[in-house]
Amino acid sequence: MSTSVESQQARMIDELRVFIKKVMSEPTIAVKSMEIARKYRSEPNAKELIAREISANTTIRIPEQWSDADRMFLDIIHDVLEDEEALY
């Protein structure tokens, strides 16, 4: 594995650690994030709208230029929404 790939993976892991710590210390983040995701799930640019509103309404900050960790978080939200739909 190259040094740049290792460095990128280390940054992503660090960013995810910070995010997980926020979610663990503020349990309302997960609930609020899913409420926001449900609100925009059917929109053509849903991930963008979700990212903006989560940033505006929680302590999670998702910049306009998404990192790999930001994309992973938004993908996980999408997966949870799909799992919810599968239950009904």
Question: pLDDT by residue (tens digit) across 8-58?
Answer: 889 888 988 888 888 889 989 999 999 999 999 999 999 999 999 999 999
Q: What is the DSSP letter of 86?
A: H
Q: What integer pLDDT is reported at residue 88 of this predicted model?
A: 66
> Is the model's pLDDT at 81 over the cut of 90?
yes
pTM: 0.82
For residue 35, the Cα-to-chain-centroid distance in whole angstroms is: 13
> Is the model's pLDDT at 82 over the cut of 80?
yes
- Per-domain boundaries in the chain: 3-87
Q: What integer pLDDT is reported at residue 1 of this predicted model?
A: 59
Q: What integer pLDDT is reported at residue 57 of this predicted model?
A: 95
